[in-house]
Amino acid sequence: MPDPIKLKTIFMGTSPFAADILSALVKNNYNIISVYTGGGKKNAGKKEVEKSAVKMIAEKNSLPIFEPEKLDEEAIQALQKQEPDIIIVAAYGKILPKKVLEIPGFGALNVHPSLLPKYRGPSPLQNAILEGEDVTGTTIMLMNEGVDTGDILFQEKVFIDSEESYPEILKRAADISAELLLKTLPLWVERKISPRAQDDSQATNCQLIERSDGKIIWTDSATAIYNRARAFNPWPGIFTYLEKDGTNLRLKLHQISLLENMLTSKHKIGEVFRSDEAIGVMTGEGAIILEEVQLEGKSRVAVKDFVNGYPEFIGSILK
């Protein structure tokens, strides 16, 4: 059997999660013959395109980089010429066609941060937080033509603290995923793992997060709104609308917490009120505490400073 470290390996990924996986492979001397990554995003007000996290790691380690917009026939031919033994994919953002999956002798392995078949799709960790999960996981799977539907090789749990936000959980999930991948690869190459099919009847799916997903629905419970803030930190964040001078202005809530021990209330849903020294908002069940806010066109400020400049905020109804 070939040494898994010496296998001609192509890595495909884009996000910071994927960058951590690539870093672990490089640190452990895997033979990365090329890196495929998605195009970066344009910085607001700037002409240059921001590099993906994976591209920055690849450049740092002088690895050949490919950024095809599509895995079309030309891109597939370029892949075939490299004659990879294995392809490793993590948060790449593109579906691999059958022709690509058939190129490497040891197949294409995907690192997906959920306990598949739960949370198939591009936002598994955010959705686990939104659902108030206290445990999720990571899966190493053999890819097929579906979206996260391939046979499972290994899985490991990732625990979630109720006060953690997405970046903290993402980092821990990446570390656990990298360790699991390094454990899986030698066993897979030596054919000591028997892939097991996913139970499609237990599958759940998640979609790409959009900016509009951060809109707060005040009839939701305080816990659900708090989980939304945790899941969507730092992007897209959570926001609501405040009526000011006859205009609805977007109000971003940068930092919130739960108001404890509030069993009953005389306040309307969405109403801003004082609670001792804190500024709260009533929800469909319970209340949240506002700590830092940012009104459209203004700077981010502590809510107490916001109230000092806009005292009529107390008693307003957020939409």
Q: How many CB atoms lie within 10 A of CB 303?
A: 21
Looking at residue 72, its pLDDT comes to: 96
Among 144-148, 244-248, 295-299, which is the least confidently predicted range?
Answer: 244-248
Question: Domain ends where: 167, 202, 237?
Answer: 202
Q: Is 318 inside any structural domain?
A: no
pLDDT of 43 reads 53
Residue 156 confidence class, pLDDT cut points 50, 70, 90: very high
Domain presence at residue 111:
yes
Does the residue 69 lie in any domain? yes
Note whether 313 and 272 are within 8 A (CB): yes
Could you report the per-residue pLDDT of 46-77, keeping only the tens digit for each? 556 789 999 999 999 999 999 999 999 999 99
Region 2-12: what's the mean pLDDT? 95
Domain boundary among 175, 202, 229: 202
> Do β-strands 287-295 and 301-302 pair in parallel, antiparallel, or remain unpaired?
antiparallel
Determine the structural domain holding residue 22 and report its residue range: 4-202
What pLDDT, on a 0 to 100 scale, did the predictor assign at position 254? 97
- Same domain, residue pair 167 and 258: no
- Specify the range with the lowest mean pLDDT, choosing from 29-43, 137-151, 198-212, 235-249: 29-43
Residue with the larger pLDDT of the pair 244 and 84: 84
Mean pLDDT of 177-199: 97
The CATH number of residue 49's host domain is: 3.40.50.170
Report the alpha-carbon distance of residue 130 to residue 139 in Å, rounded: 20
Read off the tokens for 145. 């033509």
Give how far Cα 194 sits from Cα of 77, 147, 189, Å: 31, 21, 11
Mean pLDDT, residues 223-236 taken together = 97
Q: Of 107, 108, 141, nearest to 124 (Cα)?
A: 141
- Residues 184, 276, single domain; the answer is no
* CA atoms of 304 and 307, how far apart (whole Å): 5
Are 160 and 224 in the same domain?
Answer: no
Q: Give DSSP secondary structure letters for 134-182.
A: SEEEEEEEE--SSSS-SEEEEEEEEE--TT--HHHHHHHHHHHHHHHHH
Asked if the structure places residue 10 within a domain, the reply is yes
Confidence at 270, pLDDT banded by 50, 70, 90: very high
The verdict on 37 and 64 lying in the same domain is: yes
Query: Does 255 score more than 60 pLDDT?
Result: yes
Q: For a pLDDT cut of 90, what percent of the chain falls above it? A: 91
45 and 175 belong to one structural domain = yes
Angle between helices 166-189 and 16-27 (to 10 degrees): 40
Q: Among 202, 224, 243, where does a domain finish?
A: 202
Query: Are 273 and 256 in a shared domain?
Result: yes
What pLDDT is attached to residue 20? 98
CATH of the domain at 286: 3.10.25.10
pLDDT of residue 244: 85
- Asked if 104 and 87 count as a contact pair (C-beta separation under 8 A), the reply is yes
Looking up tokens 């890595």, which residue turns up? 11
pLDDT (0 to 100) of residue 264:
56
| pLDDT at site 223 | 96
Q: Is 68 within the bounds of a domain?
A: yes
How many other CB atoms are found less than 10 A from the CB of residue 226?
A: 22
Alpha-carbon distance of 305 to 291, in angstroms, equals: 10
**CA quadruple 192, 94, 125, 299: dihedral sign:** positive
Instruction: Give me 87's structure tokens.
Output: 């392809």
Rounded Cα distance between 275 and 76, Å, is 61
pLDDT band at 42 (very low <50, low <70, confident <90, very high): low
Q: What is the pLDDT of residue 116?
A: 98
Strand-pairing partners, residue 205, are 120
Structure tokens at 256: 């919130």
Predicted local confidence at residue 263, as pLDDT: 53
The answer to the question of residue 89 being in a domain is yes
- At residue 277, the pLDDT reads 87
Note whether 156 and 236 are same-domain residues: no
Q: What is the CA radius of gyration of the chain?
A: 23
Residue 319 lies in a domain: no
Using CA atoms, how far residue 273 sits from 162, 284, 308, in Å, is: 25, 15, 14
The answer to the question of residue 266 being in a domain is yes
178 and 228, same domain (yes or no): no
Residue-averaged pLDDT of the chain = 94
Same domain, 116 and 258: no
Cβ(152)–Cβ(117) below 8 Å: no
- Do 236 and 276 share a domain, yes or no? yes
Q: Is there a single domain that holds both residue 163 and residue 15?
A: yes
Mean pLDDT along residues 125-135: 97
Give yes or no: residues 259 and 226 share one domain.
yes
Domain count, the chain: 2
